[in-house]
Copies of this chain bind each other. A is one copy, B any other.
Amino acid sequence: MRLSRYFLPTLKETPAEAQIVSHRYMLRAGMIRQASAGIYSWLPLGLRVLKRIEAIVRDEQDKAGCQELLMPTVQPAELWQESGRYEDYGREMLRIRDRHERDMLYGPTNEELITDIFRGAIQSYRDLPKLLYHIQWKFRDEVRPRFGVMRGREFLMKDSYSFDADFDGAKRAYNKMFVSYLRTFARLGLRAIPMEAETGPIGGNLSHEFIILADTGESEVFCHRDYVEHDVLAEDVDYDGDLEPVVRYWTSLYARTDDKHDQAAFEAEVPEDARVRRRGIEVGHIFYFGTKYSDPMGARVTTADGQDVPVHMGSYGIGVSRLVGAIIEASHDDAGIVWPEAVAPFDIGLINLKSGDAACDSACLDIYNQLQAAHQSVLYDDREERPGAKFANMDLIGLPWQVIVGPRGLQNHVVELKRRDTGERHELSVGSALAKLWAWKS
């Protein structure tokens, strides 16, 4: 993509309303634009990141045996009256009345609707287990939306739901999601630690939040240092095998959110030099809640021995749009964003230091074509701008690799290759620069 044609309205000034770094950089880099408090438009650069994250989340859900469907954003109030949550949910639920005066709502989550779909389709244990998910916009009418996409009102969430005939089956589903979340976040370039958590308005008695440590995190978290240092499993997993050992490791040491924190237990269980007390950002939350919804809503199955029982359920959420902010919180410097390769909006930034100069234009076009032929996505800064502005802009956007082409370099038959994360730079011939780039990337 040529930057001269791209819709990328970057800002030179830091917007006053942005209190945290991810919000500032997302606005400055032209990734998002506020439509209303806590509601954002995703501009082309931001949408590319959102889609890459979504694709990884989807891929890991599919690998874990989840099947994708898509529920609507607007739901009928009746279902929430059946479950008993219509009144309980409070003012965060965006209530809507349609033209026929029917009570509707913009879904903040989907336990009721998926339970309704299940009860209309499945009656027998023979059709279990089932793991279903969707990736859909949700709305929670936060009283004080802030921190950009980190605590917005309209947000993109992946939510999965498991259906099993008994607790043992439900625990296997919980384990699958637990492990797939470890893998998902690792692929996104994040270290997310599962921590015991409160269940809140979803309910249930078994729940973990997946937490990224970051100074700007919304709450305090407490855990054993081993979890901060332990490599999250990224290798392939056999989801039909026994996942309990992995889950047991990740639940054997102290790791709790502040709601669940118990200082006495922390001190008793964790040696002083292994106690980690940090701020954290929640990026995923999983729940086992048994028959909390299936019971009142009549989602029942016949078991192998002919009994009629409410189905055991769990739900499993990942904040897809929130992750864009969370990744920036975890990966940035003073100059801007430092994207992990897996989610970068483009693989490579190509800077032409003297657009209009025949040698620079020709060398850039040649590199641009070579990179695209190698299936790399390239953002090519072909604008007529000062070099300083181009460097600052490319660092702000945070693409992992930069290729910089200027007239002086070309006289010496070299271009500059730069890593965004370490700042490492090399002056090399075009051929050697590309060879080094492939070596770095592999």
How far is the CB of A399 from the nearest CB of chain B, in Å?
18
Which of A32-40, A287-295, A363-371, A426-434 faces chain B? A32-40
A120 at the interface (CB under 8 A from B): yes
Does A302 have its Cβ within 8 Å of any Cβ on chain B?
Answer: no
Using known A-B contacts A41-B113, A113-B41, A120-B9, determine if residue A35 contacts B71 with beta carbons closer than 8 Å.
yes
Whether A7 contacts B99 in the complex (CB less than 8 A), given A73-B137, A75-B36, comes out as no
What are 17 A-B residue pairs whose CB atoms fall within 8 Å in the complex? Answer: A7-B67, A7-B121, A9-B122, A33-B121, A36-B74, A36-B75, A36-B104, A39-B74, A41-B71, A41-B113, A43-B117, A44-B68, A44-B132, A73-B73, A74-B139, A94-B96, A106-B106
Minimum distance in angstroms from A162 CB to a CB of chain B: 12
- List residues of chain B with CB within 8 A of the CB of A72: 35, 39-41, 137, 154
Expressed in whole angstroms, the Cα–Cα distance for A73 and B96 within the complex equals 14
In the complex, whether A390 has a CB less than 8 A from a CB of chain B is no
Bin the interface of chain A by size.
Answer: 35 or more
Tell me if A6 is interfacial: C-beta within 8 Å of chain B: yes
- Residues in B with CB closer than 8 Å to A71 are 35, 41-42
Are A69 and B47 in touch, CB under 8 angstroms?
A: yes
- When distances are taken between beta carbons in the complex, the residues of chain B under 8 Å from A76 are 35-36, 39
Report which of B39, B121, B153 forms a contact with A9, defined as CB distance below 8 A.
B121
Q: Which residues on the B side are within 8 Å of A70 (C-beta)?
A: 41-42, 47, 50
> When the two chains form their complex, are residues A120 and B47 in contact, meaning their CB atoms are under 8 A apart?
no
A389 within 8 A of B: no
Give Cα A356 to B137, complex, Å.
43
- Residue from B30, B35, B98 within 8 A of A141 (CB atoms): B98
Known interface pairs A41-B117, A96-B96, A117-B41. Does A35 touch B69 (Cβ–Cβ under 8 Å)?
no
User: Residues of B contacting A122 with CB < 8 Å?
Assistant: 9
Q: Does A130 contact B (CB under 8 A)?
A: yes
A91 close to B (CB within 8 Å): yes
Which of chain B's residues have a CB closer than 8 A to the CB of A69?
7, 41-44, 47
Interchain residue pairs A-B with the least CB separation, the first 10 = A9-B121, A36-B76, A42-B70, A41-B71, A72-B154, A91-B99, A99-B141, A39-B72, A44-B67, A47-B70
Counting every copy of the chain, the complex holds 2
A143 sits at the interface (CB 8 A): yes
User: Given contacts A44-B67, A120-B9, A141-B99, are A154 and B36 in contact (CB under 8 A)?
Assistant: no
As a 0/1 sequence over residues 112 to 129 of chain A, the CB contacts with chain B under 8 angstroms (1 = contact) are: 010011001110000000
How many Å from the CB of A336 to the closest CB on chain B? 19
Q: Nearest chain-B residue to A65 (Cβ)? A: B5
Interfacial chain B residues near A153, Cβ < 8 Å? 74, 98
Nearest-Cβ distance from residue A386 to partner chain B, whole angstroms: 17
Q: Mark A274-304, 1 if CB is under 8 A from B, else 0.
A: 0000000000000000000000000000000
Residue in chain B with minimal CB distance to A154? B72
CB distance from A59 to the nearest CB of B (A): 14
Residues of B within 8 A of A68 (CB): 44, 47
Contacts of A67 in B (CB 8 A): 6-7, 44
Residues in chain B near residue A47, CB distance under 8 A: 68-70
A2-46 toward B: CB 8 Å interface, digit per residue (1/0)?
Answer: 000011010000000000000000000010010110011111100
Choose among B92, B104, B121, B154 the residue that contacts A74 (Cβ–Cβ < 8 A): B154
What chain B residues lie within 8 Å of A102 (beta carbons)? 36
Bound Cα distance A13, B179 (Å): 41
Distance of A76 Cα from B116 Cα, bound (Å): 32
Q: Which of B9, B43, B74, B92 contacts A106 (CB 8 A)?
A: B74
